[in-house]
Amino acid sequence: MPTVLLYGAYRFYFYSHEPNEPAHVHVDRDNLSAKFWINPVSLARNFGYSAHELNRIEQIIIEHQFELLEKWNGHFGIGG
């Protein structure tokens, strides 16, 4: 479960056992969690975040989209 980005109170990470799904990232803060598809950026699942906070997380993912895709591809051995 590699952490791929720390941003403020948010931890962005992958599960190593999910290589057959499209590129996505899990985001945790305290006891809250969400899953976002990376390309295109969209919410897959939400466990407790408010709409306002989900919008903020989505913006962070958009800002780091290229980096997150590179890390996904590197972790799962895609394109290299």
Give pLDDT tens digits for 38-58.
999 999 999 999 999 999 999
Give pLDDT tens digits for 12-39.
999 888 778 999 999 999 999 999 999 9
Confidence of residue 1 (pLDDT cuts 50, 70, 90): confident
Confidence of residue 76 (pLDDT cuts 50, 70, 90): confident
Q: Please state, in angstroms and rounded to a whole number, the distance separating the CA atoms of residues 76 and 34.
A: 21
Give pLDDT tens digits for 5-15.
999 999 999 98
Which tokens is 24 given? 């996505």
Query: Taking the complete model, does pTM exceed 0.75, yes or no?
Result: yes
Total structural domains in the chain? 1
Domain encompassing residue 28: 3-76
